[in-house]
């Protein structure tokens, strides 16, 4: 290191380990679950405590993911700048960091929310950091489908935080994210297929080809649109949500059809970007409908 070299910002490196953009979407879905779990407004102290606790445990899970996949990340252009891929943070440092923030998150949830939320969130941590990252992801091209349950859990965690229960309505929200996950990630895997080929991970476009993946994205998107109708069908939501889910779903279907019939990397990239907007707006529509239901 020369005298002119500026040391990297250690706080920024640890922050990057938590995959903040992914964490924010997960926590957003958990917060929506908190609001939907009660007819009125959730008690603000519990809401804040649950948000912090879930955020910390999610960050801990993503830090373990970065640790396990550091060599894979170093081979992919999309992830090569992550701190562990660049060797900026050591394995012991990452383990300590994940253990500290994960343990703090469990303490917050147990003491300021409820034990049910703590154990569900811990189970989600195990599901993502260990079962998905270590076992499923390198073993099968269905890793996204099978491991998607861990990533789909945030609404149930939020619901449990306020209601101390996880009823059918909460599991409907989990199901929506579960079905959303494959077309979301496979769109990314398609336009990043060269990266994934270098990584050695058995992603669907590599193992089964582009045409098969294009068809799977279309099928899962059709299933997703059908699944998003369930909250209205069971009386959980009203016309505001129904109209929003229909419009958002038709747009997603148009993207999926374009991928199936007229694939380009650009349309796959746009589909991936829209899928994030789609999920955010869909859950926002649920929240608006919850308080303005008619």
Read off the pTM: 0.90
**Which ranges of the chain does DSSP label H, i.e. alpha helix?**
10-17, 20-36, 44-68, 70-74, 91-112, 115-126, 143-146, 148-152, 154-163, 168-191, 193-199, 204-207, 210-227, 230-233, 239-261, 265-292
pLDDT computed for residue 88 by the predictor? 86
Give percent of the chain with pLDDT exceeding 70: 97
Mean pLDDT of 55-66: 94
The domain containing residue 112 runs over which residues?
A: 8-166
Please give the tally of structural domains in the chain: 2
Q: Does 24 lie in the same domain as 55?
A: yes
Q: Does 247 lie in the same domain as 221?
A: yes
Assess whether pLDDT exceeds 60 at residue 176.
yes
Q: Does 160 lie in the same domain as 271?
A: no
Q: Does 181 lie in the same domain as 291?
A: yes
**Cα 257 from chain centroid?**
24
Assess whether pLDDT exceeds 90 at residue 212.
yes
| Of the candidates 236, 243, 266, 260, the residue with the CA atom closest to the CA atom of residue 170 | 236
pLDDT computed for residue 258 by the predictor? 97
Is 3 within the bounds of a domain? Answer: no
9 secondary structure, DSSP code = -
Is 288 within the bounds of a domain? Answer: yes
pLDDT band at 4 (very low <50, low <70, confident <90, very high): very low
247/68: higher pLDDT:
247
Q: Does 207 lie in the same domain as 109?
A: no
Contacts for 33 with CB less than 8 Å, ≥ 6 apart = 154, 155, 156, 157, 158, 159, 161, 170, 173
Is 109 within the bounds of a domain? Answer: yes
Assess whether pLDDT exceeds 80 at residue 206.
yes
């Amino acid at each position: 290191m020369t005298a002119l070299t500026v040391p990297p910002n250690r706080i920024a490196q640890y922050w990057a380990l938590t995959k903040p953009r992914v964490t924010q979407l997960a926590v957003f879905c958990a917060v929506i679950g908190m609001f939907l779990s009660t007819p009125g407004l959730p008690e603000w102290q519990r809401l804040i405590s649950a948000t912090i606790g879930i955020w910390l445990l999610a960050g801990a899970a993503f830090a373990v993911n970065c640790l396990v996949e550091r060599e894979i990340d170093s081979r992919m252009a999309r992830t090569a700048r992550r701190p562990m891929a660049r060797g900026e943070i050591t394995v012991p440092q990452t383990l300590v960091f994940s253990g500290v923030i994960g343990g703090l998150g469990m303490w917050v949830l147990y003491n300021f929310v409820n034990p049910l939320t703590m154990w569900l969130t811990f189970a989600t941590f195990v599901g993502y950091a260990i079962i998905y990252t270590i076992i499923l992801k390198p073993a099968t091209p269905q890793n996204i489908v099978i491991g998607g349950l861990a990533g789909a859990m945030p609404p149930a965690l939020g619901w449990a935080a306020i209601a101390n229960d996880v009823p059918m309505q909460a599991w409907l929200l989990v199901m929506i994210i579960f079905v959303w996950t494959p077309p979301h990630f496979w769109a990314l895997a398609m336009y990043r297929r060269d990266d994934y080929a270098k990584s050695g991970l058995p992603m669907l476009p590599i193992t089964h080809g582009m045409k098969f993946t294009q068809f799977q994205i279309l099928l899962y998107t059709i299933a997703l649109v059908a699944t998003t109708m369930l909250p209205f069908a069971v009386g959980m939501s009203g016309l505001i949500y129904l109209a929003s889910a229909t419009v958002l779903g038709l747009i997603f279907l148009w993207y999926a059809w374009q991928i199936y019939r007229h694939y380009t990397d650009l349309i796959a990239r746009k589909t991936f970007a829209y899928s994030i907007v789609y999920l955010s707006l869909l859950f926002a529509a649920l929240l608006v409908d919850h308080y303005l239901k008619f």
